[in-house]
Amino acid sequence: MAFLPTGGNAAAKSFVDPTKKYTYTQLGKDIKELQQQYPDLVKVKTIGKSEYGRNIYAVSLGKGSAKVFINGSHHAREWMTTSLNMELIDQYAAAYKGNKKIGGYNVRSLLNSSTLWFVPMVNPDGVTLQQQGLNAFPKSTHSSLIKMNKGSKNFKRWKANAKGIDLNRQYNAGWSAIKNSPKSPSYKNYKGKTPESAKEVKAIISFVNQINPEMAIAYHSSGEVLYWNYKQSAANKKRDLIYAKKIGSMTGYSLVYPGPNPSGGGFTDWFISKKKKPGFTPEIGKYVVETELPLSAFSRVWSQNKAVSLYAAQESIKLKDARDKKAADAVKKDSTAKKKNAAKLKSYYATNIKKTADLKITSAHQKLYNTVTKDIAALEKKVKSLPSKYTKGIKADINDMKTHQKRSLAFQNAVKEGAILQKNQTAMINYMKAGKADTNINSKYNTLNKSITTMEKKIGAVYTAEVRSLFKTKYITPAVNTRMNNQYEKDRVNLLIVMEKQVKEKKYEEAKKNLDSLKVMEDKSKKLKADSKRYPTYKTYEASLNTWKQKLIKQIEAALSPAPEPAPETEKELEAEPELLKEPAEEPLAAETAEPNQAEENPAVETPAEMDTSITQ
């Protein structure tokens, strides 16, 4: 039957039974069951393996950023501390779900603002050996285990891990000064050859560094005392004494005041000295000599300790809040300085830009921009670790920095795009100067046109109208002039291409009509170029266009000119024709046919006789 806690008012099903010997196997089962029962509240992870490969489990309970670390069973025979760890998880989870209090503490409220991290069994090998003896380990290890146990097969007094290292003497805090350590592995007190060499200790150190808790509680047994102090500064000692007295009053445990040279090597010794945070070691149960606490002791142990972790959560929330505020104040101081530095960018993108020659990216500008970009990223990373209630001013500084960063970048982008536009403009001009009219004019023209559009967008993002005007003067106006200057040349090339196709397809009339359109474009081009300073004429290109046009004109005229008259027929052709088709021969002039007075009226006309006479003569 599960243990029902006394002294609390949480009423829910219990999954952990601390009235029985609590084993490593039972630990695994209970953790799984609790995780299934409270999936939104209980999380589990394996943080490492023991020397013999057993899992070292960590269980979290809560949803807040302030963390408390609680652990048990550094020492094998002290496995009731594991029972206590697990019962705390069980009962706190039930109280959270039922919105109940334990020991006067509002569990739900505390766990919404904090997270309790438990490692219930730091030393699973040692616990297993202490509870089950040699049978739980390979036969090859039995002789060495018996030797470390001073020849005894009874392991009830075993404290160390299964390699004979006392885990609570392994931490690197006063380790070299530890006294009374055996010279070789033993059932207790052997500190090892070097600090933090045991796998279990390595896992704990790594995990603590990961979660960064505000407070730590390492449960041990026995004696009902509380260790709380290890070489703190005066301020921290004063702080931690307040917590220690409260825990002492809650548990009835006596506070231990170590001398000026306390023995070290323990987990809380390390935590207090390395993290500068409160760490406590409660020794649960009335003192027993080198053995486990009896199961009957648990009821009293629970009553004494049921609210200690909730108190630790409460105080850790306060500690975290104070630490966050201090950190936020430092970040705010940093953000104020960095915002001031970012404001210097304005001189590079606005205040010092007076003429087109100033439209350039200097090395100093680029260097400052890179610094501001890095500063923004660093501040944003820091802000993520801080509560939102402390970040309003920091975020305002970051936004101011981003404004300068954005304006600086817009200026740089415009300068870079301007260089691209000038390159495309030059390519257009060089093409025209080359003088060969062909379809390449379209790609040059379109590239220039797109570049102008892109540049206009870049300029639109530039800060201040004055700087935008300088950009337009330096980049847009010359490029637009070049585009305009070549517009009619481009259109004429495309019309000539159309006419060439029409001629090929023998659409001569259509081609001839386009000559008129071509003439209109030529006239517009000439009119535009009347302003020779603004719109130069590329004579070689014009000559190339004219040659192309004349070639087409000849082809069109040849195709549309009328057919020539047929040549006159020859004499032979006439002789070859039928008689009826021949023209009648002219009749000889006879005397009798002449008018009576013809000869007289025309004395110059020779008579036939006279003609004959002359021939005879």
In the three-class reduction of DSSP (H, G, I as helix; E, B as strand; rest coil), residue 256 is classed as: strand
Whether 78 is catalytic is no
- Helices assigned H by DSSP within 167-233: 199-211
Do 253 and 302 meet the contact criterion of CB atoms below 8 Å apart?
A: no
- DSSP letters of 379-418? HHHHHHTS-GGG-HHHHHHHHHHHHHHHHHHHHHHHHHHH
Q: Which tokens is 371 given?
A: 């610094």
Please write down the HEC assignment for all residues of 105-165: EEHHHHHHHEEEEEECCCCHHHHHHHHHHHHHCCHHHHHHHHHHCCCCCCCCCCCCCCCCC
* Catalytic annotation, pick one of 78, 214, 224, 283: 283
Provide the token pair at 279: 């760490």
**Residue 102, beta-bridge partner list:** 105
- Helix, strand, coil % in the chain, rounded to nearest 5: 60, 10, 35
**Contact status, residue 339 vs residue 394, Cβ threshold 8 Å:** no
Residues contacting 134, CB < 8 A, separation 6+? 142, 145, 146, 153, 155
Judge if the upstream peptide bond of residue 222 is cis by omega within 30 degrees of 0.
Answer: yes
- Residues 369, 345 contacting (CB under 8 angstroms): yes
Dihedrals phi, psi of 590, to nearest 5 degrees: -95, 155
φ, ψ (nearest 5 deg) of residue 220: -135, 175
Phi, psi of 42 (to 5 degrees): -105, 125
Q: Which residues are catalytic?
A: 283
